[in-house]
C-alpha cells in the first residue's frame, strides 16, 4: 500500500466497487485507486442483505434512466466483468414489477408515473382489473382499480455476484483494496488531504469518495461535513407455500413478478420459494449492530395481506428471515451523488434508501465522470447532487417501496 492515492474510496461494497471499476476501466483515467473496506466478508453489508431487485417504475425521469442503465449493464455483466475464464452470471430473472392500486390516490400516482416512464422509453403497461386477472388469474382483483406492469427491464438477480464482479474486475484493472477502517480525515482549507486508518496508516488522497452505506454520516463527519443518512432496519422473509401459483401465470414465460400490494407488502419468487417484506409500522434509526429481524411483521402484516391477495398464499410456511440496513436519506429517500460544494474533493455516493444495488452501476459511472471530467457526461445526475441537501430541497420520489 502506497502513502498516497489519487482516489480513496471509503466503503468497498457495491457502490464503492462500482466507482473503482468505472474509474479503472476508463482509458482517460490513469490514476491510482484505493478502496478501504472494514469487513471483507460483507456479511452485514446492505448489498448482501438486500432483496436483489431492479426496476424502471419510478416517478422521476432520472431514477427511471438510472434503472434502465442498470438493467442494460446487468444483462451484459458476464461479458463486461469477465476475469480470465470467470464470467460472473448474475442469473437475471426478468420477471417484472407489478404495482397494484385500489384507492383513487394510488391510481392517480400510477398514471402520473406511467407518463414519465413511457417518455423515458420504459416497457411498462397499465392494466385494468380484467387485464390483470387475465394475466395473473391466481390474484384476487375485486378491490384493484389499476395495475402497472413492467414487461421487460425489471426483475431480480444475484446481489453479491454484482458486488464481487465489480470488485474482481476493478482489482484486475489496477484498483487496490485494503481491509481496514477509516477513523479520521485531515483537511487543509477546502480540501481533504488524507485519511487515517484504524491500523495507524495515514493515506494521502487526491479525492475521497464516501461509499460507506448506512455509515455515510460517520464518514462525512470525519471531514467535518454532514449528510442526512442513517441506518433503517428492514426485514426480509422467505416462505414456501402448499400450492404454488407459479404455474398459473400466463405472461413472461410463466414467471410471477415482483408484486407490490396496495398495503405495501411486496413478494416475488426466490427459487422454489418466495421472498417478501413490508414497510415497517415504526421506522426509527437502527443501532449499528442491530440486525435482529422484526419477526412479528410476517404474522401481523405480511401473511394477512398475501392471503387476501391470493388463495395460493393462504397456506404458507416461513423458512428463513434476515434483517439488513437501508442507508436511509431522511431528506427525501433518494440517492445523493456529487461533490461537496465547498470541500470539492469530497464526493458523496450515499443515501440510496434501499435502491443501492440497482442504482450502483449508474452511480459508479457518474462518480467516475465527476472525478475524471469534473462533470456528468452520460447521464446528468445533477438533480440528486449534494446541493439540494444544503438548500433543504427534497428531490421527491413517489414510487418508494
Q: Which of 83, 54, 59 is closest to 71 using CA atoms?
A: 54
How far from 80 is each of 165, 284, 367, CA to CA, in Å?
9, 40, 19
How far is residue 228's CA from residue 283's CA, in Å, rounded to a whole number? 15
pLDDT computed for residue 120 by the predictor: 98
Q: Give the largest Cα separation in the chain, rounded.
A: 65
Among residues of the chain, what percentage have pLDDT more than 70?
Answer: 98
How far is residue 249's CA from residue 95's CA, in Å, rounded to a whole number? 11
Mean confidence (pLDDT) of the chain: 95
Has residue 111 got a pLDDT over 50?
A: yes
Q: Which of 216, 181, 220 is closest to 199 using CA atoms?
A: 181
Q: Which of 385, 365, 360 is closest to 71 using CA atoms?
A: 360
**Cβ atoms within 10 Å, residue 139:** 24
- 323, β-bridge pairs: 235
Helices (H) and strands (E) in the chain, counts: 11, 18
How far is residue 265's CA from residue 276's CA, in Å, rounded to a whole number? 7
Q: Label residues 227-261 b or e (16+ Cβ within 10 Å = b).
A: bbbbbbbbbbbebebeebbeeebebbeeebbbbbb
Cα 56 off chain centre by: 12
Question: What sign for the dihedral angle of Cα 219, 227, 18, 259?
Answer: positive
pLDDT computed for residue 254 by the predictor: 44
How far from 388 is each of 335, 338, 362, CA to CA, in Å?
11, 10, 19
- Confidence bin at 256 (pLDDT 50/70/90): confident
How far is residue 14's CA from residue 384's CA, in Å, rounded to a whole number? 19
The mean pLDDT of 55-77, rounded to a whole number, is: 97
User: Which pLDDT tens digit goes with each residue over 31-46?
Assistant: 999 999 999 999 999 9
pLDDT computed for residue 401 by the predictor: 74
pLDDT computed for residue 253 by the predictor: 40
Q: What is the 3-state secondary structure (H, E, C) of 85-96?
A: CECCCCCCECCC
Cα 14 off chain centre by: 9
**Helical pair 159-172 and 14-25, crossing angle rounded to 10 deg:** 40
- Confidence bin at 397 (pLDDT 50/70/90): confident
CB 227 within 8 A of CB 389: yes
pLDDT computed for residue 135 by the predictor: 92
Sheet containing 97-101: give its strands across: 124-127, 146-150, 97-101, 258-260, 266-270, 273-277, 229-241, 316-329
Instruction: Give me the DSSP letters along 265-283.
Output: -EEEEETTEEEEE---SS-
Residues in the chain: 401
Q: Label residues 47-62 b or e (16+ Cβ within 10 Å = b).
A: bbbbbbbbbbbbbbeb
pLDDT computed for residue 252 by the predictor: 46
Instruction: Give me the DSSP letters along 88-154.
Output: -----B---EEEEE-SHHHHHHHHHHHHHHHHTT--EEEE-HHHHHHH-TTB--TT--EEEEESSS-
What ranges in 261-395 are assigned the alpha helix state H? 296-297, 303-309, 356-373, 387-390
pLDDT computed for residue 127 by the predictor: 97
pLDDT computed for residue 272 by the predictor: 87
pLDDT computed for residue 255 by the predictor: 64
How far is residue 220's CA from residue 172's CA, in Å, rounded to a whole number? 29
Task: Name the pTM for this structure.
Answer: 0.96
Has residue 279 got a pLDDT over 50?
A: yes
Q: Which domains does the chain have, with CATH numbers?
A: 4-55+159-230+331-390 (3.50.50.60), 94-152+231-327 (3.30.9.10)
Amino acid at each position: 500500500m502506497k502513502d498516497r492515492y489519487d482516489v480513496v474510496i471509503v466503503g468497498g461494497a457495491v457502490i464503492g466497487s462500482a466507482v473503482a471499476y468505472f474509474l479503472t476501466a476508463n482509458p482517460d483515467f490513469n490514476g491510482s485507486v484505493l478502496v478501504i473496506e472494514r469487513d471483507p466478508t460483507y456479511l452485514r453489508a446492505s448489498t448482501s442483505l438486500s432483496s436483489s431487485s431492479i426496476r424502471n417504475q419510478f416517478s422521476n425521469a432520472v431514477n427511471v434512466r438510472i434503472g434502465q442503465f442498470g438493467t442494460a449493464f446487468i444483462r451484459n455483466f458476464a461479458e463486461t466483468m469477465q476475469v480470465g475464464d470467470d464470467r460472473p452470471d448474475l442469473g437475471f430473472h426478468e420477471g417484472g414489477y407489478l404495482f397494484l392500486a385500489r384507492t383513487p390516490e394510488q391510481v392517480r400516482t400510477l398514471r402520473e408515473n406511467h407518463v414519465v416512464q413511457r417518455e423515458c422509453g420504459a416497457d411498462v403497461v397499465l392494466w385494468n382489473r380484467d387485464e390483470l386477472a387475465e394475466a395473473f388469474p391466481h390474484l384476487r382483483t375485486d378491490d384493484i382499480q389499476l395495475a402497472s406492469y413492467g414487461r421487460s427491464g425489471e426483475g431480480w438477480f444475484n446481489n453479491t455476484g454484482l458486488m464481487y464482479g465489480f470488485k474482481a474486475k476493478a482489482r484486475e484493472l489496477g484498483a487496490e483494496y485494503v481491509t481496514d477502517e477509516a477513523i479520521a480525515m485531515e483537511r487543509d482549507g477546502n480540501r481533504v488531504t488524507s485519511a487515517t486508518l484504524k491500523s495507524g496508516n495515514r493515506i494521502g488522497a487526491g479525492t475521497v469518495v464516501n461509499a460507506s452505506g448506512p455509515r455515510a454520516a460517520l464518514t462525512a463527519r470525519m471531514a467535518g461535513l454532514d449528510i442526512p443518512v442513517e441506518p433503517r432496519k428492514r426485514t426480509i422473509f422467505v416462505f414456501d407455500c402448499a400450492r404454488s401459483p407459479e404455474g398459473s401465470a400466463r405472461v413472461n414465460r410463466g414467471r410471477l413478478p415482483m408484486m407490490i400490494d396496495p398495503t405495501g407488502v411486496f413478494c416475488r419468487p426466490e427459487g422454489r420459494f418466495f421472498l417478501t417484506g413490508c414497510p415497517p409500522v415504526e421506522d426509527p434509526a437502527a443501532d449499528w449492530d442491530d440486525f435482529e429481524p422484526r419477526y412479528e411483521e410476517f404474522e401481523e402484516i405480511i401473511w394477512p395481506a398475501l392471503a387476501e391477495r391470493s388463495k395460493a398464499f393462504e397456506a404458507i410456511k416461513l423458512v428463513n428471515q434476515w434483517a439488513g440496513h437501508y442507508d436511509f436519506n431522511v431528506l427525501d429517500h433518494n440517492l445523493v451523488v456529487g461533490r461537496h460544494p465547498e470541500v470539492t474533493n469530497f464526493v458523496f455516493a450515499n443515501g440510496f434508501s434501499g435502491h443501492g444495488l440497482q442504482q450502483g452501476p449508474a452511480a459508479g459511472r457518474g462518480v467516475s465522470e465527476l472525478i475524471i471530467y469534473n462533470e456528468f457526461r452520460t447521464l446528468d445526475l445533477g438533480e440528486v447532487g449534494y446541493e439540494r441537501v444544503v438548500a433543504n430541497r427534497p428531490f421527491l420520489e413517489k414510487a418508494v417501496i
